[in-house]
A and B are shown apart, each in its own frame.
Chain A
Amino acid sequence: MSRKHAIELKINGDIHEVLVEPRTTLLHVLREDLALTGTKEGCNAGDCGACTVLMDHKPVASCLFLAIEAQGKEILTIEGLDQQGRLHPLQQAFIDYYAVQCGFCTPGMILSAKALFDKNPQPTEEEVREAISGNLCRCTGYVKIVEAILAASQQR
């Protein structure tokens, strides 16, 4: 086994100290060490977007990110979105517009949408579709997801 490194990760505003091998991915640390299971393992190759987290406000594939390289960054997972139990407008919109079926793609979708809003608070439908182009959904056909995101952008 490779030598383990003690690293500090800043996740959802909290500092966590974890012991990792160099080969441990951020996705693995989130799910296995920190029990933040909202972030999902889909394709494990960076294509499906189920493992999306925001790193310094930018969406990245946590399955391709070594935990040891995530030090010094601000990481936001789906668990960090609500404010003391109050859902983020995106989360509420996904419920109101029936944009969730099995729910597996949902955390990644919402975080990609949040990253879009941070840059562009009033996106067009095309801009929304572009922003979620790396988040695959096998259930919904995307229509309600796009509606939910557009609706959430109107509320701000």
Chain B
Amino acid sequence: MRLRSLPEFEYMVPKDVNEVCSVLQQHAERAKVLAGGTDLLIHMKHRVLTPRYLIGLKNLSDLDRVSYKEGQGLRLGPLVTHESIVGDRVIQERFGALWTACSKVGTPNIRNMGTLGGNLCNAAPSADTAPPLIACQALVKVMGLAGERSLPLENFFLGPGKTALQPGEILVEIDVPCPPPRSGMVYVKLPVRTAVDMAAVGVAVFITVDANNDACQEVRIALGAVAPTPIRARRAEEIMRGEKITEPVIQKAAQIASEESCPRSGSIRASVEYRCSMVEVLTKRAIRQVLAQVRSF
């Protein structure tokens, strides 16, 4: 289909979150929020989405903030762009998996426009920011007319393109707890091309080691693009938790992670077999990279 103009719509710029929620509640299916627009406008050009109302969020400057407090963790506004996250020293040093993910989204142009909130709320199974945030046990805060509620990011994704947002609700904050001492994290993305592309497989690993630096006190493995939503590889984690992290343990965990994947068949990007195989390869790679990180502290 020819991809030229956008369909017609009315444009509003509410002055605060409450007004956004009111408008969303009032117009329901016929309204969409506009953050960076890098996914929404493409869907509209293809006529996959044709909202009657676009709700511009540029007055909500409170939602475009990053703050970090020692002991409390990271607070991210949903309107923070990927490039802002890449430019943040604290995130680069303490939340490196998220930093890596944002640095690999799309292109430099897209990173200057696209937002963290947009990446999460579009809920693509391959969303780069999801596995690292899930591995870090991120919480999301959602606001509606009835008030605010929090839920683990892991429970935010319900299916491809589907989130736990109710009508009239928007994402207002993403909270990431401080990693405990002796922790490391990594995000590994396998795109089909060297740049611009989505993840064919995404693996995020978070490990806390014990005082001897060889046993796994805590581990979280999150996988992207290999299931209808980003998922935790919980059985793989069980292999590692409390154990000395030896080569056999790493091999076994990676193999189980691969078995926990259930990628979609018929994808033009990669076959089921290739994706499952790459989950095993990348999980091993990621675990080893995290170990190198914690051992270098």
Give the chain B neighbours of A21 by CB distance below 8 A.
8
A41 to B7, CA, bound (A): 18
A139 to B8, CA, bound (A): 36
Given contacts A58-B83, A60-B109, A134-B196, contact A23 B9 (CB under 8 A): yes
Interface: B69 (CB within 8 A): no
A47 engages B196 (CB within 8 Å): yes
Residues 1 to 54 of chain A near chain B (Cβ within 8 Å): 1-3, 5, 21-23, 25, 44-47, 49, 52
Give the chain A neighbours of B8 by CB distance below 8 A.
1-2, 21-23
A22, A52, A61, A134: the one contacting B195 at CB < 8 Å is A134
List 30 A–B pairs whose Cβ atoms lie within 8 Å, in order of A's numbering: A1-B8, A21-B8, A22-B10, A44-B3, A44-B4, A45-B45, A46-B42, A47-B107, A47-B196, A52-B109, A55-B112, A59-B108, A59-B112, A60-B113, A61-B107, A61-B113, A64-B37, A64-B38, A64-B42, A65-B37, A66-B34, A68-B56, A69-B37, A69-B56, A131-B108, A133-B108, A134-B106, A134-B109, A134-B110, A134-B196
Give the chain B neighbours of A130 by CB distance below 8 A.
108
A96 to B56, CA, bound (A): 44
Interface: B11 (CB within 8 A): yes
Give the chain B neighbours of A65 by CB distance below 8 A.
37, 113
Nearest CB of chain A from residue B83's CB, rounded to whole Å = 7
Give the chain A neighbours of B54 by CB distance below 8 A.
22
Which chain A residue has the least Cβ–Cβ distance from B81?
A: A58
B10 engages A134 (CB within 8 Å): no
Give the chain A neighbours of B108 by CB distance below 8 A.
59, 112, 115, 130-131, 133-134
Give the chain A neighbours of B113 by CB distance below 8 A.
46, 60-61, 64-65
B7 engages A23 (CB within 8 Å): yes
B3, B5, B42: the one contacting A23 at CB < 8 Å is B5
* Count of residues in A whose CB is under 8 Å from the partner chain: 30
Interface: B58 (CB within 8 A): yes
Interface size bucket, B side? 20 to 34
Given contacts A46-B42, A47-B196, A64-B113, contact A69 B58 (CB under 8 A): yes
A59 to B83, CA, bound (A): 11
A1, A22, A45: the one contacting B42 at CB < 8 Å is A45
Nearest CB of chain A from residue B136's CB, rounded to whole Å = 25
B38 engages A46 (CB within 8 Å): yes
Interface: B262 (CB within 8 A): no
Which chain A residue has the least Cβ–Cβ distance from B58?
A: A69
Q: 1/0 per residue A78-107: CB within 8 Å of B?
A: 000000000000000000000000000000
A2 engages B9 (CB within 8 Å): yes
Residues 235 to 283 of chain B near chain A (Cβ within 8 Å): none
Nearest CB of chain A from residue B191's CB, rounded to whole Å = 11
Which chain B residue has the least Cβ–Cβ distance from A3?
A: B10
A75 to B108, CA, bound (A): 17
Q: 16 additional contacts, CB 8 Å, given A23-B8, A46-B106, A66-B41?
A: A5-B11, A22-B8, A23-B5, A46-B109, A46-B110, A58-B112, A60-B112, A60-B113, A61-B38, A64-B37, A64-B38, A69-B56, A130-B108, A131-B108, A133-B195, A134-B109
A23 to B195, CA, bound (A): 29
Give the chain B neighbours of A52 by CB distance below 8 A.
109
Which chain B residue has the least Cβ–Cβ distance from A72?
A: B58
Residues 105 to 137 of chain B near chain A (Cβ within 8 Å): 106-110, 112-113
A49 to B109, CA, bound (A): 7
Give the chain B neighbours of A23 by CB distance below 8 A.
5-9
Nearest CB of chain A from residue B84's CB, rounded to whole Å = 10
Give the chain B neighbours of A1 by CB distance below 8 A.
8
Give the chain B neighbours of A2 by CB distance below 8 A.
8-10
Give the chain A neighbours of B109 by CB distance below 8 A.
46, 49, 52, 59-61, 134
